């Protein structure tokens, strides 16, 4: 029992540090990229978009591989290898002398960020069935806490230089790796391991499986639009606030921490009150409507304090993604839920590849000297259009779902 609790505590800290490390660099990385780009923020935004996309691409490609390797060799070696790689990556980012080194760092970060798969499997291994859902809550708690602490800490440390946050995060990550090396027990018994299967490590197979369920196509389209819209916000937030309001890393770190706090409040508390009363479909439409309005207001904001007002007033938009996941999952049988969640995760990773490239291109084009008219908030308006389009897909899907039964997987599929 003591080893089990120590393992769970280590997994929680590991996931927290992963997200905190990602959050720390959000207010800092655009500043570092701008330095390498000669101080031109419009030019730098294009490079920044590719850095974000490369990270998502590596995570998409390697997440199923990490899962398959952990099924073959156990959770402990895969988790520790990913954790050590994450620490080395943060040191590499701190010392990067050129833009090319930053890209190398983001490639490694995306690969090691796939450690959430064996970490989730570890939780399942050590949790009795009646406590499995409760222990999986550690993942959400670690993500929420990490995204609150990370941006705020990155903003504070960034005042002492754009590389200091990387050194700090690297130190914590490597110390956690050293601690885990001595205390983390293996959770997967040898008799429960299975041979490595390349098909299970293929990130495209689970996404392609969704083509067997045409009834939920509109809901999947809604999910994709949601992911693309969120990427428009995440990938241009720091660029936009620096360009429009002159915010520094500290101001951005505090604002992003407030975003994290509001997300935790809604998803850990309000969502439990609202969705039972509204129902998942009305909750989804409400969230999409609030998202659309919020994106427009972000793009129109003329003063920095307005961003905080929109963050707080638009916080209910955080019910959108859980409501969408709930509606989609209700169309599948119990034996299909694992594969479905894997497919949805892969789809979200794909939006993390495409979304930043589109959003940062729009920002660069409409803030650069070649722009026919200066529109710094163009990426937010793009997000609003995607959010509005997702309403159309959702309503059309609801109309189809009224007349069709939940989907059953085709035999042998």
User: What pLDDT does residue 378 have?
Assistant: 97
Which of 123-132, 233-242, 316-325, 343-352: highest mean pLDDT?
233-242
Side-chain half-sphere CA neighbours of 315 within 13 A:
20
Identify the band that residue 176 occupies on the pLDDT scale cut at 50, 70 and 90.
confident
User: What pLDDT does residue 54 have?
Assistant: 93
Residue 121: C-alpha distances to residues 111, 116, 144, 274, 360 (Å): 17, 9, 20, 31, 35
Q: Output DSSP code: residue 332.
A: S
How do residues 260-312 score in pLDDT, each as one tens digit?
A: 889 888 877 888 788 889 988 999 999 999 999 999 999 999 999 999 999 99
Q: Which two tokens stand for residue 258?
A: 């407030």
Q: Which residues contact 269 (CB under 8 A, 6 or more apart)?
A: none
Q: What is the mean pLDDT of residues 72-92?
A: 90
Q: Which residues contact 77 (CB under 8 A, 6 or more apart)?
A: none
How do residues 133-167 score in pLDDT, each as one tens digit?
A: 556 656 666 777 888 888 999 989 988 888 999 99
Residue 396: C-alpha distances to residues 220, 235, 390 (Å): 12, 30, 10
Question: Boundaries of CATH 1.20.1250.20 in the chain?
Answer: 1-184, 205-413
Residue 406: C-alpha distances to residues 107, 283, 328 (Å): 40, 20, 10
Identify the band that residue 219 occupies on the pLDDT scale cut at 50, 70 and 90.
confident
* Rounded-to-integer distance, Cα 239 and Cα 205, Å: 35
* Rounded-to-integer distance, Cα 40 and Cα 21, Å: 26
Q: Which CATH class is domain 205-413?
A: mainly alpha
Q: Which CATH class is domain 1-184?
A: mainly alpha
User: What pLDDT does residue 215 have?
Assistant: 59
Distinct helix (H) and strand (E) counts, the chain: 17, 0
The answer, yes or no, to whether residue 324 has pLDDT greater than 70, is yes
Q: Output DSSP code: residue 373.
A: S
What pTM value is reported for the model?
A: 0.80
**Can you tell me whether residue 20 is helix, strand or coil?**
helix
Q: Output DSSP code: residue 406.
A: P
Q: 333 in the Ramachandran plot: left (φ > 0), alpha (ψ -120 to 50) or beta?
A: beta
């Amino acid at each position: 029992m003591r080893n089990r609790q120590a393992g769970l505590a280590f997994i929680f800290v590991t996931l927290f540090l992963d997200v905190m490390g990602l959050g720390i660099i959000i207010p800092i990385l655009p500043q570092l990229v701008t330095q390498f780009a000669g101080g031109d923020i419009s030019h730098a935004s294009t490079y920044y978009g590719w850095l974000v996309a490369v990270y998502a691409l590596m995570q998409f490609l390697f997440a199923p591989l990490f899962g398959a390797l952990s099924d073959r060799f156990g959770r402990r070696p895969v988790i520790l290898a990913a954790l050590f790689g994450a620490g080395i990556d943060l040191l590499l980012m701190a010392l990067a002398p050129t833009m090319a080194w930053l890209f190398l760092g983001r490639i490694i970060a995306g690969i090691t960020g796939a450690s959430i798969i064996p970490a989730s499997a570890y939780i399942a291994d050590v949790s009795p069935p009646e406590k499995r859902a409760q222990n999986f809550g550690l993942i959400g708690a670690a993500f929420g806490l990490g995204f609150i602490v990370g941006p705020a800490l990155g903003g504070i440390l960034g005042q002492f230089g754009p590389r200091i946050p990387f050194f700090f995060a690297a130190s914590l990550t490597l110390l956690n790796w050293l601690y885990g090396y001595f205390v983390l027990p293996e959770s997967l018994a040898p008799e429960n391991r299975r041979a490595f299967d390349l098909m299970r490590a293929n990130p495209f197979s689970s996404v392609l499986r969704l083509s067997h369920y045409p009834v939920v196509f509109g809901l999947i389209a809604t999910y994709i639009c949601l992911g693309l819209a969120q990427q428009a916000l995440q990938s241009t937030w720091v660029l936009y606030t620096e360009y429009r309001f002159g915010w520094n890393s500290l101001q951005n770190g505090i604002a992003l921490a407030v975003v994290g706090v509001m997300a935790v409040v809604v998803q850990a508390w309000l969502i439990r009150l609202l969705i039972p009363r509204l129902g998942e479909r009305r909750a989804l439409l409400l969230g999409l409507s609030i998202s659309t309005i919020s994106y427009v207001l972000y793009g129109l904001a003329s003063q920095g304090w307005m961003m905080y007002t929109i963050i707080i007033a638009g916080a209910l938009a955080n019910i959108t993604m859980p409501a969408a996941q709930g509606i989609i999952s209700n169309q599948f049988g119990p034996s299909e839920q694992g594969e479905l969640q894997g497919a949805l995760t892969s789809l979200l990773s794909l939006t993390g590849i495409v979304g930043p490239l589109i959003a940062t291109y729009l920002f660069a084009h409409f803030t650069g000297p070649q722009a026919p008219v200066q529109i710094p908030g163009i990426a937010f308006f793009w997000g609003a259009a995607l959010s509005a389009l997702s309403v159309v897909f959702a309503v059309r899907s609801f109309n189809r779902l009224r007349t069709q039964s939940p989907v059953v997987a085709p035999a042998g599929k």
